[in-house]
Amino acid sequence: MAISNLDHHAPINSNLPAPPLSFDIFCRVVDNFGDIGVCWRLARQLADMPSGHRVRLWVDDLHSFAKIETHVDPTQDRQIVRRIDLVHWTVEPPDLQPHEIVIEAFACDPPKGFIQRMTAERSVWINLEYLSAEPWVEGCHALASIHASGLRKSFFFPGFTIRTGGLLREPKLIKTRDHWLSEPGNANTLRQALHLPGDLSQSLQQGCRQVFLFCYPSAPALGLLQGLARNSMPSVVLVPAGVYPRLVMHQTPHVRVHEIPFVDQTAFDHLLWSSDLNCVRGEDSLIRAMWAGKPFLWQIYRQNEDAHLTKLQAWLAQTSFSPAVHALMQAWNTGTDAEFGERISQIMSPPAWRQWQHDTHSWTEKMARQPDMASSLLELCVKMLQTG
């Protein structure tokens, strides 16, 4: 395998080529919503850029997609949603001409016939990798290998440092968040749209704690309720339907649990922004919780041989959280309900909570100063087009 490393920090030759560009993004939904979540965000950000890039997104599972984007019709093999050309990627995919840039998400193997046509078109081929904070990522970002077709395929690694491909962040996201939060009516409108019962909405308006819970079934969620119960402030825990169905049986008058419907990615952000504590999972919601800037717990997607725990440690090492928050995150991923409940109740003491709020806020600010992923990806693609 021939490997080359394109210097992605070198300046772009501004003469070549002129935007707008055209993109194919291939997405196979392996599990859950993270694969399509990342691809959809990326597709939207590219299509929304002022240059007016053309984006075509190939997705094999339209039903999962429709849960996080209500405009998607799972019965339609071709449709335009938010100016993006959607193709249902079936076992017999349509023979379409490849665009200039082909993004293969998470090594999902575009169709063979399509790759052959990419050779004729000399399309730029990028493999978008999963997010990891492990140190080796910096050394592998933007490396290329020569595929059997003769095409060069470059490996784009998102990440938390400037030597990686960065994190998905729409332009002015932090300003948009602050503007949305500055109008308290926005949170109320969101709660109405989620059909929250009047008494819960009222409690939240009166300052009761809002907790958003998006986790895997192995999370010590009962421990979370126990920890919240020990705090003097009442809580309302909002759980997307199907995420933890048994939890509602464990609610008390002091810690209420309410199932909410799945929402689109914009409303998902609003939910995170308006909550006091966010429990998130996987890859994409971690980043969204980070942009919300509120204390959050991350449950990492489980991998064979506990590889995910190494990733969790690598990520924690890059944050500026206290040892108590490190232990809390570890307990959220591997601890019992009792252990987690004890730790969360300790961290809810006012000084520890303020410290966590402060540390999350500063980490978010630091990350928001780095280049965002879509811009870095675009920069790499332009260089690839220039170098041929």
Residues at the interface with ligand TRH (CB under 6 A): 30-35, 37, 68, 130, 214, 240, 262-265, 268, 281-285, 301
Q: Look up 283 and say whether it is catalytic.
A: yes
Task: Give the pairing of strands 78-81 and 84-88.
Answer: antiparallel
Q: Which of 24, 35, 100, 269 is catalytic?
A: 35
Q: Which is nearer to ligand TRH, 35 or 129 (CB)?
A: 35
Which one, of 105, 109, 134, lies nearest residue 37 by Cα? 105
Query: Virtual CA dihedral for 141, 147, 149, 154, nearest 10 degrees?
Result: 0
Cβ atoms 68, 36 nearer than 8 A? yes
Q: Which is nearer to ligand TRH, 99 or 268 (CB)?
A: 268
Q: Look up 109 and say whether it is catalytic.
A: no
CA distance linking residue 372 with residue 104, whole number of Å: 19
Q: Which is nearer to ligand TRH, 130 or 296 (CB)?
A: 130
In one-letter notation, the amino acid at residue 282 is: G
Query: What is the per-residue DSSP string for 38-54?
Result: HHHHHHHHHHHSTT--E
What is the smallest separation between the CB atom of 358 and ligand TRH, expressed in angstroms? 25
CA distance linking residue 66 with residue 55, whole number of Å: 18
Q: Which is nearer to ligand TRH, 200 or 263 (CB)?
A: 263
Q: Which of 85, 104, 283, 284 is catalytic?
A: 283
Is residue 261 helix, strand or coil?
coil
CB atoms within 10 A of CB 320: 11
What is the smallest separation between the CB atom of 34 and ligand TRH, expressed in angstroms? 2
What is the smallest separation between the CB atom of 308 and ligand TRH, expressed in angstroms? 9
What is the smallest separation between the CB atom of 3 and ligand TRH, expressed in angstroms? 25
Could you list the active site residues?
A: 35, 283
